[in-house]
Chains A and B, each alone.
Chain A
Amino acid sequence: EAQVTQNPRYLITVTGKKLTVTCSQNMNHEYMSWYRQDPGLGLRQIYYSMNVEVTDKGDVPEGYKVSRKEKRNFPLILESPSPNQTSLYFCASSLSGTGNTIYFGEGSWLTVV
């Protein structure tokens, strides 16, 4: 089954404790991206990757890092989480760029206290 898998789905962590949200897709997609969703602000793009070793900033990259060492994985790294990064996070992928259908993961609820 074609899917985008995120882990963890739910996490409560403390300020400053580094964490990684993993994302994996099994569709051999070149394009992957991360979004955060906050009440009243809709979905905002954090980072995206057009292919392996190619990443770029979206609209809200501050406080996040990403890497794309292999095509199927695109982890989101919070080096020093802060409470304003409490949000619902979505990973997404598509065949090649945003001109193709985008598939989303189920979301990761992250709370930073």
Chain B
Amino acid sequence: DAKTTQPPSMDCAEGRAANLPCNHSTISGNEYVYWYRQIHSQGPQYIIHGLKNNETNEMASLIITEDRKSSTLILPHATLRDTAVYYCIPPSVTDRGSTLGRLYFGRGTQLTVWP
């Protein structure tokens, strides 16, 4: 199963870009990388996902390295409401390519945006 490594905490000034790294060196070729965030004790919320190419949506951008061993989530203009724990997650995939149900969240990165 692919596991991830994220820094435990980061901070960022309001209005500046927040760049959150994730190492997923054991990811398989057909595994997507998903990012979620959890604000305080609410249920985690989907942000973005990608396979090989960089992705952008209304919430964030995702940059995936060419070797797919790491990715960076970018919040281009962080606000105080972006303070949350951010999780980088690849799903579990069997050798035969079918997805398993096991999911490892880890402890994520606590992002604190300060005024």
Q: Determine the chain A residues whose CB is within 8 A of the CB of B105 once the complex forms.
A: 35, 42-45
Q: CB distance B103 to A45 under 8 Å?
A: yes
Instruction: Give the Cβ gap from A12 to chain B, nearest Cβ, in Å.
Output: 17
Interface magnitude class on chain A: 20 to 34
Which of A43, A56, A97, A106 contacts B42, CB < 8 Å?
Answer: A106
Smallest CB gap from B106: residue in A? A42
The answer to the question of B93 belonging to the interface, with a C-beta cut-off of 8 Å to chain A, is yes
Contact with B along A69-85 (1 / 0, CB 8 A): 00000000000000000
Q: CB distance A105 to B106 under 8 Å?
A: no
Indicate whether A43 sits within 8 Å of B43 (C-beta atoms), given known contacts A31-B101, A102-B36: no
Q: CB distance B44 to A50 under 8 Å?
A: no
Which residues of A are interface residues toward B (Cβ below 8 A)? 4, 31, 33, 35, 37, 40-45, 48-50, 56, 58-59, 88, 90, 92, 96-99, 101-107
Instruction: Give the Cβ gap from B93 to chain A, nearest Cβ, in Å.
Output: 7
Interface magnitude class on chain B: 20 to 34
Q: CB distance B107 to A90 under 8 Å?
A: no
Q: CB distance A56 to B106 under 8 Å?
A: no
Q: CB distance B108 to A42 under 8 Å?
A: yes
Q: Determine the chain B residues whose CB is within 8 A of the CB of A59 once the complex forms.
A: 102, 104
Contact with A along B82-103 (1 / 0, CB 8 A): 0000010001110000111111
Q: Determine the chain B residues whose CB is within 8 A of the CB of A31 once the complex forms.
A: 101
Cα(A59)–Cα(B100), bound, Å:
13
